[in-house]
Amino acid sequence: MEDSRKYLQPEVVAQLATIELRARLVVEGFITGLHKSPYHGFSVEFAEHRQYQPGDDLRYMDWKIVGRTGRYYVKQFEEETNLRSMIFLDSSGSMRYASKGHIRKFDYGAYIAASLAFLMMKQQDAVGLALYDNTVRSFLPPKSKPSYIQEIIKSIGQAEPSEMTGTASALNGLAERMGRRGLAIIISDFFDDTDSIVQALKHFRHRHHEVIAMQILDPRELDFKLGADATLVDMESGEQMMTQPHQIRNAYREALLQHNATIKRECFQRGVDYILLETSQPFDFALREYLGRRRRM
């Protein structure tokens, strides 16, 4: 594995000293990968170009990119490139969970949030951040000033998940607070009442925001392979219960799959991009989803 590409691995990034260093190296590894992927020819130009669409003025075609990649891009002026984006990071109690050998869901989400902020700044976009549990804990409105990234990174680096739950109510308020039309990236395990989560996502779309919903789960939350005996701990209340996982695995998996399927279906029907992420996955899964949505806007 190339040195830069290794920083897309959660277990490697978690060993780095600061959240800023983690985010910078994740983005560096991601961009290195773009040079060797189907996105090649787009990665270094995406701040100033967009893909050609029928009706575009051919005077603005960048023939150098056409000759190098065989793909058609037009030069894009600064007022066209700027996008207002908000990153919403779930900091509720359930995000504290981590099974053996994996990082916490909150940490995984925090690294994605910080990396996305760096990537957006590279695209000259305005980016903001909100941390929330059952209420809004921190809100930084979108700005495109390069130095603003330090404030965003500091907010992420100082954050810790709380003991609260009920995130859907906070998301509804954030949809109103986001202001004029932009891109909302919601990073959460979506462990709340299904109908409440769906209503919150609808609220963002009702406000005409583009939305990417990134659901982060630990691998053990998906397969429930906890061994012969396990102690289940409520991340909000601290209540513990001894159990034999095989006895409840099927019921748990059915409930979780139904919950996730409902959210995914509603996202599809509402034009929301949905991506399910495991904390064992490289970070470029999430960054590619963002880049794909960015190219379509």
pLDDT digits (tens, 9 = 90+) for 60-105: 777 877 888 888 777 654 444 468 899 999 999 999 999 989 999 9
- If asked whether residues 116 and 231 sit together in one domain, one would say yes
Is 44 a residue whose pLDDT tops 50?
Answer: no
In terms of domains, do 91 and 105 share one?
yes
- One domain for residues 68 and 88: no
- Asked if residue 146 is part of any domain, the answer here is yes
Q: What 8-state DSSP symbol labels residue 221?
A: H
Q: Are 96 and 75 in the same domain?
A: no
**Cα–Cα distance, 184 to 128 (Å, whole number):** 10
**pLDDT higher than threshold 90 for residue 198:** yes
In this structure, are residues 95 and 89 in contact, taking their beta carbons and an 8 Å threshold?
A: no
Same domain (yes/no): 166, 46: no
pTM confidence score: 0.78
How far is it, in rounded angstroms, from Cα 152 to Cα 144? 12
Tell whether 29 is covered by a domain. Answer: no
Whether 68 and 175 share a structural domain:
no
> Is the Cα dihedral 145, 150, 154, 157 positive or negative?
positive
Give the CA count within 13 Å in the CB-facing half-sphere of 187: 31
Does 144 share its domain with 217? yes
Pairwise CA distance, residues 125 & 183, whole Å: 11
The answer on 123 and 236 residing in a single domain is: yes
Provide the residue type at 237 as one letter: S
Same domain, 50 and 167: no
Domain that holds residue 219: 82-296
Q: With 90 as the cut, is the pLDDT of residue 159 above it?
A: yes
Q: How many domains does the chain have?
A: 2
Whether residue 69 is found in the same domain as residue 91: no
Question: What are the residues whose beta carbons fall under 8 Å from the beta carbon of 79, sequence distance 6 or more?
Answer: none
Distance between CA atoms of 120 and 84, rounded to whole angstroms? 10
Residues 6+ apart with CB under 8 A from 90: 106, 109, 132, 133, 167, 186, 187, 188, 189, 190
Do both 63 and 91 map to the same domain?
no
Determine the Cα–Cα distance for residues 107 and 199; give it in Å rounded to an integer: 26
* Domain co-membership, 120 together with 57: no
Domain-embedded: residue 18? no
Q: How far is the C-alpha of 137 from the C-alpha of 130, rounded, in Å?
A: 7
Q: Residue 212: its pLDDT value, please? A: 95
Q: What rounded mean pLDDT belongs to the chain?
A: 82
Tell me the pLDDT tens digit for each residue of 227-268: 555 544 454 555 554 555 566 667 777 888 899 999 999 999
